[in-house]
Amino acid sequence: MKRLLVANRGEIARRVFRTARAMGIGTVAVFSDADEHAPHVGDADLAVRLPGTTPAETYLDIGAVLAAARSTGSDAIHPGYGFLSENAAFARACAAAGITFVGPSPEAIEAMGSKIAAKELMAAAGVPILPGATVTDGEALPDVGFPVLVKAAFGGGGRGMRVVRSPGELADAVASAQREAAAAFGDGTVFLERYVEDPRHVEVQIFGDTHGTVIHLYERECSIQRRYQKIIEEAPSPAVDDERRAALGAAAVKAAEALGYVGAGTVEFVMDQQGEFFFLEVNTRLQVEHPVTELVTGLDLVELQLRVARGEPLPLPPPLRGHAIEARLYAEDVAAGFVPASGRIHRFDVPGDVRVDTGYEAGSTVSTFYDAMLAKVIASGDTREQAVGRLAEALTDARIHGVPTNRELLVRVLRHPEFQAGNTDTGFLDRHDLAHVEVPDDVRLRHAVAAALAAAAERRQSAPVQPHVPAGWRNVPAIPQVASYDGIEIRYRYTGDGVEVEGLGGVRVWSAEPNGVDVTIEGVRRRIAVERVGDDTYVDDADGASTLRAVPRFPLPDAAVAAGSLLAPLPGSVVRVLVEPGESVRRGQTLVVLEAMKMEHSVQSPSDGSVTDVRVAVGDQVESGQVLAVVDE
Amino acid sequence: MPVLHSSIDTASDTYQSNRRALLDLLAEHDEQLALACAGGGERYVARHRARGKLLVRERIELLLDPDTAFLELSPVAAWGTGYHVGASIVTGVGVVSGVECLIIGHEPTVRGGTMNPVTLKKNLRAFEIARANRLPVINLVESGGADLPTQADLFIPAGNIFRELTQLSALGIPTIALVFGSSTAGGAYVPGMCDHAVLVDQRAKVFLGGPPLVKMATGEESDDEELGGAEMHSRISGVSDYFAVDEIDCIRIGRQIVADLNWRKLGPGPSKPADEPVHDPDELLGIASADLRIPFDPREVIARVADGSRFDEYKPLYGTSLVTGWASIHGYPVGILANAQGVLFNDESKKATEFILLANQTDTPLVFLQNTTGYMVGKDYEQAGMVKDGAKMINAVANSAVPHFTVIMGASYGAGNYGMCGRAFGPRFLFTWPNARVAVMGPQQLAGVLSIVARQGAEAAGTLFDEEADAAQRQGVEEQIERESKALFMTGKLYDDGIIDPRDTRTVLGIALSAAHGQTIEGRRGFGVFRM
């Protein structure tokens, strides 16, 4: 293996390059037009453009990827995760082109690609499975009992998944899942499966080599999920003791052996509160959460993948050592329902003794075309408590400016007593509404004061006249200065050594600079970091982070949005426009459907009325807040 | 440049009693400021707000760049006159879109923002400052015109408002009118004569005669909007350049107009380090004498005003009752003349004359720190030519062409007031500490002089001198002069640009110097510097 092309983007491309470089293997990146400035491009020795922006035009285009491999003389392709990583046709095409596909055989991929076939195979091999059945068009829906999980038979990542608890809702859920599956994977087949309440998601890392050896590298627990997507993963599972670990490992090895598995894979199980586990699926690729296994085994799983691909034998599995935990940092608006966010990242600092795998850096843009995961932050320690503490601390101290993130949510989970007690299951975030916890008012007020003082310092530093006159000086102090941010306004007066803030009292200002202030508020001296980018001010201190949007002092009179305007709730593309100007609509009627990331979002009429304007067409990319249509009551 | 040492004892009785007295005086001044800010009182303020209008100081705050300073001028003008304290108008120097402007705002909650003779005087003084320092003028207009019962003392001189506005424009000093309400009759000419006018929809009324007057004059039926509304003036008459949808919009447009002036100050700007004084300005309250019979060392003041407390003293061994020397404030170089022992003798007068000539040679602005009881009297001094020497100093001050700034930090009596650049000598700005006393002479001296003259008159006439009546009269005169020389009395008559907290002296002079650098800084030349 001389030169390795990574048919992927973002953090996983960078992750693979890192190991390849260390092993003396040349590296090749591919990039879509949306990724032309992405850091993974610069990390590789060579890079090839894949024209277009959508995944189908670029990272999913087998022909284009193979052409890139040929033009760069690559002799191996690592598919990463997602995209072509579990595409048997791609694995076959690589083989046909004489290129090593770093992954299992096309047959293994195929066998596990159909969840139905996979379960049959596993049942035959003696791996415990849940009852389930495929939906066949034109036939009655199969009965697997309730609750039932409806999901796409092909593909993964939670796309199209729905839980149905009563028979009346089943038909609609199946139809909807079929649509989404067809759109996302080109195959609308849907599978029904018994649903385990309050389950834990436990998975086992497996590895097979070309010499017939199959090993497991212990379990990972990935129960903390939002919308069926894992956000916190750890190894080992707090609910697995040595005995059950051995049982899980044995079942996983059995599964792998049934497949004649070569390379890295993951056998996913669902585990109930009593510790009984059932086979869920095999992911025939490197998982997003592989770093936690690396940190508790000391192995480099990408290196193992490449060695296996070169035909080398696997080492003996090392003993489990300590605890590791990973948090997935997403660009998203948590409070609005985990709506993916896009935009330019102005600052990206994650300090502390943690591993950060990321495809972004300060100056990068998060586009709407791909997954909005910004980074994986991974901490380890001798104990779970230590690892969790380190991760929470690093996330707390992180400064990520430019896009909203789920950082606060992650910290709240990590610091939640139930989580710390190890009482995790996939319903954790449904039980504990941590998504809607606001920054406390007193913290927000302090942050607004810091933002105002830093802004004043910035203005003083760039003042064209009177730069040495004290800020806001008055010989007739009649009216306070006002700093107005979205949702919070502070009114303050300058005193000799600080400011007097209405509702807060005296604030002693030790220093105020554009990038931060040193102040004593209510008896506590604090250093509060501030960064302003345009109208947004990012404030970070020991008590949390706020993003404050400045309210313009002088709104332009024509800037106000016309009444009845429907605004895009998030950035995305328009997939359906269901009305025309002049049409009468009822309250709640869907007018426009947006697709962003994996979700369809309906924009509905706020009232009965008539459509006076439609500003978008199918296929348009829209920004958050853009006017889609106007309804006149 | 040497750094001044301070030798004050903050624990001393003098320091402590000065401080107490100054704080009392400042509290008294603060009460008057509060009256000025209260406008026409709660009822009229509430009515104004109910109309959805901003108060004049709110308008100014919005107009100013955030976190910049505003130096309000003569905030308690009209004190003791019977008119509203503040004279129903707010004037001051503030930064708008990065440009130092002279802001003039009517106080609409006091008698509809109408103008009385003190309002006029304050308004004209603001124009004078704008003209001398080349500051763009922004008028925040909402005035019913003349306060009619006062028209006898107002009508004729009020023509100067129009004349000044047009002459400012001719000098290239921009004039802007932001019209928030009535601007009627004579007031209509303010937007009419400004370079730029912005009118607020449904609020601005700019007409020579309102509907009743028009009806009486010509029989024509009309309404406010047709005669002088913002829309009409923006679309039809062209009196308005910009139509503002509301007050906020009007202020936004005003700021935009200033931004579009591409304004350049003509002065050379600051050229020295602008570090804070080494000594604490807070101590000025204990330094300033509450009892003006006790002189204080002006170097202690300079040490709390000048950059880095640095001061290069000129002729330190000669004429020691007047301290002269070079310093800088906020980076602007200045020459400072400060009274030390109150009296100006022959040597002090000659030293001052030379120093003023030198400052004119180097285009250096001058700061006068007044604490003077006047030029020395007596046989020896008259025979030594006190009149000639005093005349030299007054001549130099009067004809000096660099900007002058005067701070009355104590006594200001007799011709000392003139020689140390009193109001009549046109300093760019003149501020007063609250402990100041200004009069032709001290109350006791003045009463005593009157008594002596009366006694001599009685003797010459051969009539009996009534000692009892004299004593009563002396006391009455003393009290009158005492009252009339108080800082509040002087500021009420607009003989200064305001009373300032001594601790703010550096900031106030910094703003004043910055404003003065709007104009070129050029000294008087012609003859060389005479060694007097």
Q: What is the DSSP string of A148-203?
A: EEEEESS--TTTT-EEE-SGGGHHHHHHHHHHHHHHHHS---EEEEE--SS-EEEE
What's phi and psi for B226, nearest 5 deg?
-65, -35
pTM of the predicted protein model: 0.79
Q: Is the pLDDT of residue A561 over 60?
A: no
**B401 part of contact set with chain A, CB < 8 Å:** no
**A464 part of contact set with chain B, CB < 8 Å:** yes
CA distance B100 to chain A (A): 7
pLDDT (0 to 100) of residue A298: 96
What amino acid is encoded at B459 in this protein?
A: E
CA distance B276 to chain A (A): 9
Residues A135 and A162 in one domain: yes
Tokens describing residue B481: 């002069």
Residues A475 and A445 in one domain: yes
Residues A466 and A501 in one domain: yes
Residues A445 and A543 in one domain: yes
What amino acid is encoded at A621 in this protein?
A: Q
A483/B507 Cβ within 8 A: no
Residues A545 and A449 in one domain: yes
Residues A451 and A543 in one domain: yes
pLDDT (0 to 100) of residue A160: 67
Q: Has residue A423 been placed in a domain?
A: no
Parallel, antiparallel or unpaired: strands A26-32 and A46-50? parallel
Q: Is the pLDDT of residue A223 over 70?
A: yes
Q: What stretch of H or E contains A263?
A: strand A263-271
What's the gap between Cα B202 and its chain centre?
A: 36
A465/B501 Cβ within 8 A: no
C-beta of residue A324 within 8 angstroms of C-beta of residue A296: yes
State the CATH number of the domain containing residue A625.
2.40.50.100
What's the gap between Cα B27 and its chain centre?
A: 20
DSSP letter (8 states) at residue B279: S
pLDDT (0 to 100) of residue B311: 98
Q: Which residues of chain B are modeled with pLDDT < 50?
A: none
Q: What is the pLDDT of residues A158-201, one digit of tens each?
A: 666 788 888 888 888 888 888 888 877 778 888 888 888 788 99
Q: What is the pLDDT of residues A117-166, one digit of tens each?
A: 788 888 898 899 887 888 877 777 888 878 888 888 776 666 667 888 88
A600 DSSP β-pair partners: A595
**A469 part of contact set with chain B, CB < 8 Å:** yes
| Residue of B352, B348, B490, B362 whose CA lies nearest to B430 | B490
- List the single residue in A with minimal CA-CA distance to B330: A468
- List the single residue in B with minimal CA-CA distance to A462: B98
Residues A517 and A594 in one domain: no
A475/B68 Cβ within 8 A: no
What number of helices (H) and strands (E) belong to chain A?
15, 39
pLDDT (0 to 100) of residue A604: 84
Q: Has residue A115 been placed in a domain?
A: no
A325 DSSP β-pair partners: A234, A379
CA distance B219 to chain A (A): 39
Measured distance CA(A501)–CA(A489) in Å, rounded:
11
Mutate to test the interface with B, among A458, A459, A468, A558 (most CBs of B within 10 A): A468
Measured distance CA(A406)–CA(A393) in Å, rounded:
15
What ipTM goes with this model?
A: 0.94
Residues A512 and A588 in one domain: no
A459/B75 Cβ within 8 A: no
Tokens describing residue A183: 């759109």
Measured distance CA(B162)–CA(B185) in Å, rounded:
13
Q: What is the DSSP string of B199-215?
A: EETTT-B--SS-HHHHH
B504/A475 Cβ within 8 A: yes
Q: Is the pLDDT of residue A534 over 70?
A: yes
- The range of the structural domain enclosing residue A164 comes to 131-194
Confidence band for A627, pLDDT divided at 50, 70 and 90? confident
Q: Has residue A60 been placed in a domain?
A: yes
Q: Has residue A69 been placed in a domain?
A: yes
CA distance A461 to chain B (A): 11
Q: Has residue A184 been placed in a domain?
A: yes
A233 DSSP β-pair partners: A326
**H-only helix segments in B400-486:** 415-419, 443-461, 467-484
Mutate to test the interface with A, among B45, B54, B62, B67 (most CBs of A within 10 A): B67
B330/A469 Cβ within 8 A: yes
Q: Is the pLDDT of residue A559 over 70?
A: no
Task: Tell me which residue in A466, A475, A557 faces B68 most closely, judged by beta carbons.
Answer: A466
DSSP letter (8 states) at residue B236: I
A456/B507 Cβ within 8 A: no
Q: What stretch of H or E contains A303?
A: helix A301-309
What amino acid is encoded at B115 in this protein?
A: M
Residues A30 and A98 in one domain: yes
Q: Has residue A464 been placed in a domain?
A: yes
Q: What is the pLDDT of residues B56-65, one digit of tens each?
A: 999 999 999 9
**In chain A, % of residues over pLDDT 90:** 60
Give the residue from A143, A170, A194 where a domain finishes: A194
C-beta of residue B298 within 8 angstroms of C-beta of residue B340: yes
Residues A445 and A488 in one domain: yes
**H-only helix segments in A489-546:** none
User: Is A461 in a helix, a strand, or coil?
Assistant: helix
C-beta of residue B494 within 8 angstroms of C-beta of residue B77: yes
Tokens describing residue A597: 């990331």
C-beta of residue B56 within 8 angstroms of C-beta of residue B106: yes
**H-only helix segments in A549-611:** none
Give the residue from A503, A519, A549 where a domain finishes: A549
Q: How many CB pairs under 8 A join A and B?
A: 93
pLDDT (0 to 100) of residue A563: 65
Residues A542 and A465 in one domain: yes
Task: Tell me which residue in A466, A472, A476 faces B37 most closely, judged by beta carbons.
Answer: A476
Q: Which residue has the tokens 């004649």?
A: A260
How many structural domains compose chain A? 4
| Alpha-carbon distance values, A614 to A353, A522, A630, B346, B486 (Å) | 52, 52, 7, 88, 72
pLDDT (0 to 100) of residue A560: 52
The larger pLDDT score, comparing residue A108 to residue A182, is at A108
What's the gap between Cα A145 and its chain centre?
A: 32
C-beta of residue B222 within 8 angstroms of C-beta of residue B176: no
**B331 part of contact set with chain A, CB < 8 Å:** yes
Residues of B in Cβ contact (< 8 Å) with A554: 248-249, 251-252, 255
A468/B510 Cβ within 8 A: yes
Residues A9 and A43 in one domain: yes
Give the residue from A549, A584, A602 where a domain finishes: A549
* Tally of residues, chain B: 532
State the CATH number of the domain containing residue A537.
3.30.700
B99/A468 Cβ within 8 A: no
**Rounded (5°) CA angle A333-A335-A338:** 50
| Residue of B236, B250, B206, B199 whose CA lies nearest to B224 | B206
Q: Has residue A571 been placed in a domain?
A: yes
Q: Has residue A554 been placed in a domain?
A: no
> Looking at chain B from residue 217 to 276, which residues have their Cβ under 8 Å from any Cβ of chain A?
245-246, 248-249, 251-252, 255, 265, 274
Q: What is the pLDDT of residues A493-506, one digit of tens each?
A: 998 889 999 989 99
Measured distance CA(A486)–CA(A550) in Å, rounded:
6
Residues of A in Cβ contact (< 8 Å) with B99: 464-465
A576 DSSP β-pair partners: A593
Measured distance CA(B91)–CA(B119) in Å, rounded:
10
Tokens describing residue B453: 């003259």
B66/A459 Cβ within 8 A: yes
Measured distance CA(B425)–CA(B228) in Å, rounded:
42
C-beta of residue A12 within 8 angstroms of C-beta of residue A305: no
What amino acid is encoded at A395 in this protein?
A: L
CA distance A446 to chain B (A): 19
A495 DSSP β-pair partners: A498
First to last CA, chain B: 26
